[in-house]
Structure 1
Amino acid sequence: MNRTVLFLGTGDGQLLKVILGENLTSNCPEVIYEIKEETPVFYKLVPDPVKNIYIYLTAGKEVRRIRVANCNKHKSCSECLTATDPHCGWCHSLQRCTFQGDCVHSENL
């Protein structure tokens, strides 16, 4: 299933991740990063050209590299799969939710 992932910076220092389904319906936005100083996140977010598990954002005078997903927060296979995060999958060999490319034998569901 193809999904579109949007990363949105907010004026109060949050980086939101929104996953759009096939009918362009969205899930509840997930806060994947929050700046304690509540500095606005600059509108231009840049994916890492080498490792697509990171995104670069600017806030204030700083550039930060942020992981695009927190897969290990999903503690079970069913929780991992129902999250419908295209960056994550259940790795049978590690028995945990990982980034799609981090599974030892690419056995992600």
Structure 2
Amino acid sequence: MEIFNIAAVCLVLTAGLAYLNHRFLKLPMAVGVMSIALGLSLVVLALNAMGWGSGLFEAEETLLHSVKFSEVLFKGMLSLLLLLLLLLLLLQGRYTSMPTD
């Protein structure tokens, strides 16, 4: 699986968890998404312990082992963080346009 596909799947899952939190739990966003993700992880571990989710667990393990950390960090996360920083500055009104010489 390509790195951008993995990022897209993570973003879609996070958006789904955020919706579930907003609709049902009504916890603060970070706390709600993290608690739902923790609960889903515990469900996967419980299914694996009972022998029902062994294929799912192995697929997740293969996916995690296929990710190259340096590639993810330099090609994906840093560019995304720079984009989000620019959007934050634009929304706060601290950055209006490119400076001209």
Category of TM-score, reference length = shorter chain: under 0.3
Query: Structure 2 length as normaliser, TM-score?
Result: 0.25
**TM-score computed with the length of structure 1 as normaliser:** 0.23
Structure with more helix by fraction? 2
RCO higher in 1 or 2 (8 Å CA, sep ≥ 6)?
Answer: 2
